[in-house]
Every structure is written in C-alpha cells, then in structure tokens.
Amino acid sequence: MKSIEWVDGKVRLIDQTKLPEELVYLEISDHLELCEAIKKLKVRGAPAIGIAGAFGVVLGLNKMNDKIFNINNYINKVIDDLRSTRPTARNLFWALDRMYKKICSLSGESMGKVKKESLKEALDIYMEDEEMSRKIGENGVELLKDECSILTHCNTGFLVTAGIGTALGIVYTAVEKGKKVRVYADETRPLLQGARLTAWELEMKGIDVTLICDNTAAFLMKKGMVDCVIVGADRIASNGDTANKVGTYNLAVLAEKHNIPFYVAAPHSTFDFSLKNGDEIPIEERNPEEVYMGFGKRRAPDNINVFNPAFDVTPNNLITAFVTEEKIFYPPYGNWGGLKNY
C-alpha cells in the first residue's frame, strides 16, 4: 500500500482526511488540484509533501502546449503555486528547488525531453525517499531495547513517505527484527492524526498500539511506562532546533524531566542549513475552525479567539539524537557531515 505514487500520468494518493472510516484513493492530473490536496491535508507529512511537490511540477509541465511560449515564466508560476500551499515543511521547498534546477539544466532541449527528464527527476526523488525510510529504520533500531515501549506524536509512517516512514519506520523495522515493541500514540489534537492515522497504520500492521489523550503522556512517563519518545520532523535548523507537529515540544520537556531519551527521525531533505536556529523556522497557523469545531460539532463559544499553530519548535538541547538515513547524530549538533543537501 502506497500513500502517494505516479500512475499513468497522474498522482495517485490516499485521501488522509477520509481515514480511518474509508480508504479512498484520489487521482490528480492538475497541479492546482494537487495544491488543494496539500492545503487540505489530503496528502500530508513532510516527505510526502515533498514528493507531491515534485510530481506537481510534472503535472504542470504536462499541461504545457504550443501556446505557452515562455517556459520559465510558466514553470515559475507552477512552482510558486506549490510553494504557497504550506510554509513549514522543508521537504516541499527542497523538492521544488531540485525540480527547478533540473528544468533549468535542460534549457534549449525539446519540450518532450524536458517533460521526460523532469518526470525521471521526480521519480528519483520518490525512490530516494523510499530508500531513506528503509535506512532510517535500520539505523534507529540500535537505539531500542529488545523489549520497549515507545511514545510517538502525530503520524510518521508509510502515509507520510514513499517507504515505511520515519519514526514509525523504526518501529516497523524493530518488529521485523524480532524486537517486542509497544507504541503509545498521542491522539494529536486538533486534527487527531495520531488517533485517525497512526493508530490505524499500526493496528493494520499488527503492532501493539495504545491510543492516549495528548495530556496523558506525563502520567505515563511518571509511571515508568515509556522507554523513549520518537517523533518525526518538518524542518530542522542548522543547530538542531526542530519544528514538528504542535505538542512535540511538550513531550521533549516531559522527557527531559523524566530522564527519557527523545529521538527525532528525519531524512536529509528535512534539514534546512540556511537557518541558524529554530527562531527562523516559519510556523504555519491554520484555520481556527479546526479547534472550535472538534469532532464536527462546535465545541467553543461563538466569536472566541483561537490560536492554532500547526507546529512548534523543540530546542536542540532537549533532543537526545537525530536518526537520519546516513547515521545517528548526537550532541553537540551543527556538524552534519555526511548529510547531502541540494
């Protein structure tokens, strides 16, 4: 089962807004339709958004005809449309920059070759992401005891990558290697990615999973029921400050208080070496309705003020280690030798 893939000239993806009630696939042939799917979280998760962005560029190119004389103006508009969808996930901008560089390198070539080579580049991004997930899983396994309980936040499995996932990829690999792993999944308010998506993924794959309210984590840690916390990331600054789903910072503070390791699993495409620290990471704020209309019914007074950031930033001093496809990085952070960056 693939969360996103290229099939017969279209982007085929699982509509994650329909889970867990329905498993619905969308087939998208227009880059603006794909932009809407990203904005509305039909496809989500930093690596998957990056893949969607790369495929979106190809969809835009496929719409080109003889009436479009200036490919640079046209493709810049397509890329700007995709860039405007969500501001925080680094993988999106990384993939779009890579696609733009590929197209620029084909200046003077026929439109047929530009389309063919651009599709190849997007498929390379897809396959590289699949391989990175596998390597993250293999590297992260060494951090886990043969029998352990893991707390995670949001969704970081096959729904957000071309492969097995980032944080959950470590879980899947550990189970394949015979380790006895139990997962506690935060519900992840306000959109319940942990309840709707992580619990669904893990249950479907036969993993021992227990769903908890977001405000239960401290109690679990106090009772000694958590061996480590593993989360994904949407953007990582040069110093290791990490943006991830809002609520991640809470867990990092709690983990430090209870002397529990806190790990971040992410590929090189999530690192943004142009940013010095987390203060420079743009944080997306989403529709207040996501908060006051919880579970499809109004849950707050009319005209109430709502603050709804999609992400928060965890300072590097609270992160025990980063698990990447290259290796595990430990403090002090800043020397990321071995990580590619385009």
DSSP 200: H
Just give the CATH number of 4-134. 1.20.120.420
Q: For 207-241, what is each residue's pLDDT tens digit?
A: 999 999 999 999 999 999 999 999 999 999 999 99
Residue-level pLDDT at 122: 98
Looking at residues 186-204, what average pLDDT do you find?
Answer: 97
Residue-level pLDDT at 295: 76
Residue-level pLDDT at 342: 41
Looking at residues 156-161, what average pLDDT do you find?
Answer: 98
Q: For 30-50, what is each residue's pLDDT tens digit?
A: 999 999 999 999 999 999 999
Position 161 pLDDT exceeds 50 = yes
Residues 61, 115 contacting (CB under 8 angstroms): yes
Q: Is CATH 3.40.50.10470 what the domain over 136-329 is classified as, yes or no? A: yes
User: 53: closest CA among 107, 15, 89, 18?
Assistant: 89
Residue-level pLDDT at 189: 96
Residues 62, 9 contacting (CB under 8 angstroms): yes
Q: 264 to each of 15, 172, 258, 314, how far by Cα in Å?
A: 26, 16, 18, 10
Position 89 pLDDT exceeds 90 = yes
Residue-level pLDDT at 1: 86
Q: Where are the domains of the chain?
A: 4-134, 136-329
**What is the DSSP track for 292-303?**
HTGGGS--S-TT
Q: 126 to each of 6, 52, 87, 91, 245, how far by Cα in Å?
A: 9, 9, 21, 12, 23
Q: For 58-87, what is each residue's pLDDT tens digit?
A: 999 999 875 555 778 899 999 999 999 999
Which residues are catalytically annotated? 234
Average pLDDT score, the chain? 96
Looking at residues 193-197, what average pLDDT do you find?
Answer: 98
Residues 189, 216 contacting (CB under 8 angstroms): no
pTM: 0.96
Token pair in block for residue 37: 């799917």
Residue-level pLDDT at 238: 97
Residue-level pLDDT at 67: 56
Q: For 256-310, what is each residue's pLDDT tens digit?
A: 999 999 999 999 999 999 999 999 999 999 999 999 998 789 999 999 999 999 9
CA angle (184, 318, 226) in 5-degree steps:
25
SS3 27: strand
